[in-house]
Amino acid sequence: MLRLEHIAWELPDGEEIIRDIDLSIGSGKLVVVTGPNGGGKTTLAKLIAGIVKPASGRILLEGEDITGCDVTERAKRGIAYAFQQPVKFKGLTVRDLLDLAAGGGLSEPAVCGLLGKVGLCAEEYIDRELSAALSGGESKRIEIASVLARNAKLSIFDEPEAGIDLWSFTRLVETFQELQAEQKGTLLVISHQERILSIADEIVVIADGRVKNSGTRDEILPTLLSEERTIRCPHGKEDICHE
């Protein structure tokens, strides 16, 4: 449903952040993009959402070239994006945001249902302002709910686990699994979390602006975990490292 062809992007000073990425993402899949910090994952997500424009290459959504489409147009075509750092709004409530995300007419039970999916008690939050009074974790979960409200063809979540507590994270993983089972849309999740990697249909490893590896979970995850252990314990024996 999504195809990236030779996508490249660089900073104004010429530093290459994304280098000639080719990637295909199938419909109804849960695809997890992972890799080291600074490798280009968030930039890749922003390129797909239209927040930044590629220096070269093409982006195709369901066969249509959307490279020239701006953020609004891509949203209208079915791409939703959850920001890594949620945005605060004075005067806009949680209900307002979710209603806007859903395109209007969202019933109160529907708002409550969305908040429940991210582990928030609806009664407590529905009329709260999206201001600095909300904690980082609360804002993050509301941000995720705003993307769930869109029922998009492609939903992109940039490190959804960042800043949220263990219990909410568990609920979030369950929500991803429910969406995965329903196969209503494609999920693209940027994450380092093993629990999210372990439910992926496919994993893409991005490093140094390139696709370092990609494949099914069973193909990629064992290698990733092995590499992680090597980095954590270069001697190969954890008991030695712990001494």
Partner 1 sequence: MNKITETLLRIVSEYDGDFKGAFNIREDGGCAGRQSTENVKIESKADKPGLEIHIKPGTKGEKISIPACVTRGNVDDLVYNDFFVGEGADVTIVAGCGVHTDSDEEARHNGIHRFFLEKGSRVLYTEKHIGTGSGTGAKRIDPVTEVNLAEDAVLEMDTVQIKGVDSTIRKTTGTLAARAKLIVRERIMTDGEEQAQTDFDVVLAGEDSGADLVSRSVARGHSHQVFNSCIRGENRCTGHSECDAILAEEGTVSASPSLEASHVDAELIHEAAIGKIAGEQILKLRTLGLTEEEAEERIISGFLK
Structure tokens at 69: 């489409």
Least separation in angstroms between residue 81's CB and partner 1 is: 5
Phi/psi at 133 (5° precision): -70, -20
Least separation in angstroms between residue 212's CB and partner 1 is: 28
Minimum CB distance to partner 1 smaller for 89 or for 240: 89
User: Which residues would be at the binding site for partner 1 (CB under 8 A)?
Assistant: 49, 51, 70-72, 75-76, 80-81, 83, 87, 89-92, 96, 100-101, 103, 146, 150
Q: Are 60 and 7 in contact (CB under 8 A)?
A: no
Least separation in angstroms between residue 46's CB and partner 1 is: 10
Q: Are 124 and 133 in contact (CB under 8 A)?
A: no
Least separation in angstroms between residue 102's CB and partner 1 is: 9
Minimum CB distance to partner 1 smaller for 23 or for 98: 98
Minimum CB distance to partner 1 smaller for 143 or for 161: 143
Minimum CB distance to partner 1 smaller for 37 or for 72: 72
Q: Are 206 and 40 in contact (CB under 8 A)?
A: yes
Q: Are 158 and 190 in contact (CB under 8 A)?
A: yes
| Angle between helical axes of 108-117 and 136-148 (0-180°, round to 10) | 120
Strand partners, 93: 129
